[in-house]
């Protein structure tokens, strides 16, 4: 008996990891087609419950003790309201089929289907989480215990067998969910660390590392147009020298906010490349439209002064350089270099303006 319960627990634990790990956004390996995830989790739970039935503890009267209730409930944590219904339908049909559609097997199978439908409604009402699953699990175990008492032959073994079912159900379920919650917590922490490594701490935009990875991936196929708008704040050093670096940080934060609020083309990627230098990557955008986007950014900044904490008002302008791939640049390095040359030309020719790269801007940048 103990050996069979141990095998049951191992099957349950394996299912829990399989139904959790590949379906998370944070994992390196992830199953595609997110809309199908609840169905796949439900089917995985149903197959797992079939294995649990095969390794169950057989009691008198054709009654099986295993962790199928835990599987149905856990599937709802990761698969939402859809997964428990699918899991319960599979396990219910298998359980009924094992008994020839009669007797205790029929009642147990219908009970599994009932629990699946009830779990689906509960998760749809309360949401899918470890907390809501725990609440429903109490109901599922107690309800199944009542069914078990009804199915077991009358005698001294009813109390002991029912108690064994309840103890095993709680021990297996809460052991697995504690481990899963710890995994979930660690995944969240890792995701946070990874996000920090790719995000500028002050503005929340992509940092230079992310910018480098994204621009390289955008230029991989070599045919799709990509434009780069590179810009920085005019006379930013004067802002820091006059008002102090904390005010300078506020200006950078406000600038990032204004960029975000601009109606940019779909797929635009915003980054802070370092210091007061920012960029907007525009996939699928050629030079003419990129110049329009750059002009929109320029007006969004120059149109109104920055009102900072304490009511301080500072007029801020930006200079912008634009370069496009593949027409004006052949690779990532050249695209950035030529956008930077155009930005330098905008600075040299009066600031608060947009300049597109041309061979002339290259010559100006080198003087």
Mean pLDDT of 69-82: 92
pLDDT, tens digit, 9 for 90 and up, residues 84-123: 999 999 999 999 998 878 788 899 999 999 999 999 999 9
Tell me, what's the pLDDT at 61?
67
Tell me, yes or no, whether 134 and 59 share the same domain.
yes
Alpha carbons 194 and 214: distance in angstroms, whole number: 15
pLDDT, tens digit, 9 for 90 and up, residues 23-51: 665 555 567 778 888 999 899 888 888 88
Tell me, yes or no, whether 219 and 194 share the same domain.
no
Element (H, E) at 231: strand 226-233
pLDDT, tens digit, 9 for 90 and up, residues 210-225: 999 999 999 987 788 9
Tell me, what's the pLDDT at 7?
82
Alpha carbons 209 and 201: distance in angstroms, whole number: 13
Mean pLDDT of 343-361: 91
Q: Is 214 strand, coil or helix? A: helix
Tell me, what's the pLDDT at 113?
95
pLDDT above 70 for 156 = no
Per annotation, catalytic residue among 182, 220, 250, 276: 276
Backbone dihedral angles phi then psi of residue 206, each to the nearest 5 degrees: -60, 145
Q: Which carries the bigger pLDDT value, residue 342 or residue 359?
A: 342
Residue partners of 73: CB distance under 8 A and separation at least 6 = 84, 119, 133, 136, 137, 140, 173
Q: Is 220 a catalytic residue?
A: no
Contact 94, 106 (CB under 8 A): no
- Per the structure, the complete domain to which residue 176 belongs is given by 2-198
Tell me, what's the pLDDT at 174?
93
Domain boundary residue, one of 179, 198, 217: 198
Single pTM value for the model: 0.63
Alpha carbons 142 and 166: distance in angstroms, whole number: 8
Tell me, what's the pLDDT at 239?
92
Q: What is the CATH number of the domain that holds 31?
A: 1.10.1760
Tell me, yes or no, whether 190 and 225 share the same domain.
no
pLDDT above 90 for 259 = yes
Q: Where are the beta strands (DSSP E) in 242-316?
A: 269-274, 277-283, 306-307, 313-314
Question: Mean of the per-residue pLDDT values for the chain?
Answer: 88
pLDDT, tens digit, 9 for 90 and up, residues 159-209: 888 998 999 999 989 998 998 888 888 777 877 777 777 899 899 999 999
Q: Is 146 strand, coil or helix? A: helix
Tell me, what's the pLDDT at 360?
76
Tell me, yes or no, whether 159 and 275 share the same domain.
no
Q: Which carries the bigger pLDDT value, residue 143 or residue 45?
A: 143
Is residue 292 very low, low, confident or very high in pLDDT (cuts 50, 70, 90)?
A: very high
Maximum average pLDDT range among 137-146, 193-202, 304-313: 137-146
Tell me, yes or no, whether 280 and 183 share the same domain.
no
pLDDT above 90 for 315 = yes
Alpha carbons 208 and 206: distance in angstroms, whole number: 7
Tell me, yes or no, whether 172 and 24 share the same domain.
yes
Q: What is the CATH number of the domain that holds 238?
A: 3.30.70.270
Tell me, what's the pLDDT at 4?
80
Q: Which carries the bigger pLDDT value, residue 255 or residue 62?
A: 255
The residues that bridge with 71 in the sheet, in sequence order, are none
67's tokens: 């962790």
Tell me, what's the pLDDT at 266?
92
pLDDT > 90: percent of the chain? 59
**What DSSP character marks residue 199?**
B
User: For the chain, what is the domain count?
Assistant: 2
Tell me, what's the pLDDT at 53?
86
Contact 318, 207 (CB under 8 A): no
Using CA atoms of 91, 97, 99, 101 in order, give the dihedral in degrees to the nearest 10. 110
Return the exposure string of 193-220: e unless at least 16 CB atoms fall within 10 Å of the residue's CB, then b.
eeeeebbbeebebbbeebbeebbeebbe
pLDDT above 70 for 338 = yes
Tell me, yes or no, whether 61 and 173 share the same domain.
yes
Contact 264, 309 (CB under 8 A): no
Residue partners of 252: CB distance under 8 A and separation at least 6 = 202, 203, 233, 272, 276
**What DSSP character marks residue 270?**
E
Q: Using N-to-C axis directions, what is the helix angle for 2-20 and 37-54, rounded to 10°?
A: 170
Residue 96 lies in a domain: yes
């Amino acid at each position: 008996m103990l050996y069979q319960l141990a095998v049951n627990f191992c099957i349950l634990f394996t299912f829990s990891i399989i139904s959790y790990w590949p379906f998370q956004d944070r994992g390196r390996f992830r199953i595609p087609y997110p809309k199908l995830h609840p169905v796949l989790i439900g089917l995985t739970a149903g197959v797992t419950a079939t294995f649990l039935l095969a390794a169950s503890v057989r009691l008198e009267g054709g009654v099986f003790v295993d962790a199928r209730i835990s599987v149905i409930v856990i599937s709802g944590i990761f698969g939402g309201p859809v997964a428990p219904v699918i899991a319960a339908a599979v396990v219910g049909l298998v359980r009924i089929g094992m008994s020839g559609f009669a007797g205790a097997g029929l009642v147990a199978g219908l009970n599994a289907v009932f629990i699946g439908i009830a779990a689906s409604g509960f998760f749809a009402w309360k949401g899918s989480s470890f907390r809501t699953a725990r609440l429903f699990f109490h109901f599922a175990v107690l309800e199944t215990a009542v069914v078990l008492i009804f199915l077991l032959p009358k005698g001294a073994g009813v109390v002991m067998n029912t108690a064994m079912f309840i103890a095993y159900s709680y021990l297996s379920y809460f052991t697995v969910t504690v481990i899963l919650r710890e995994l979930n917590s660690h995944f969240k922490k890792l995701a946070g660390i990874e996000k920090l490594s790719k995000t500028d701490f002050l503005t929340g935009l992509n940092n230079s590392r992310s910018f480098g990875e994204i621009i390289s991936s955008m230029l991989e196929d070599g045919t799709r147009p990509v434009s780069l708008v590179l810009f920085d704040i005019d006379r930013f050093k004067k802002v820091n020298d006059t008002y102090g670096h904390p005010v300078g940080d506020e200006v950078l934060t406000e600038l990032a906010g204004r960029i975000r609020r601009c109606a940019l083309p779909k797929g635009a990627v915003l980054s802070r490349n370092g210091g007061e230098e920012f960029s907007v990557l525009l996939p699928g955008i050629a030079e003419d439209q990129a110049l329009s986007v750059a002009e929109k950014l320029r007006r969004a900044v120059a149109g109104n002064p920055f009102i900072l904490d304490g009511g301080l008002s500072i007029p801020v302008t930006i200079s912008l350089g634009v370069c496009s791939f593949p027409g004006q640049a052949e690779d990532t390095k050249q695209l950035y270099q030529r956008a930077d040359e155009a930005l330098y030309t905008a600075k040299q020719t009066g600031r608060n303006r947009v300049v597109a790269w041309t061979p002339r801007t290259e010559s100006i940048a080198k003087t």
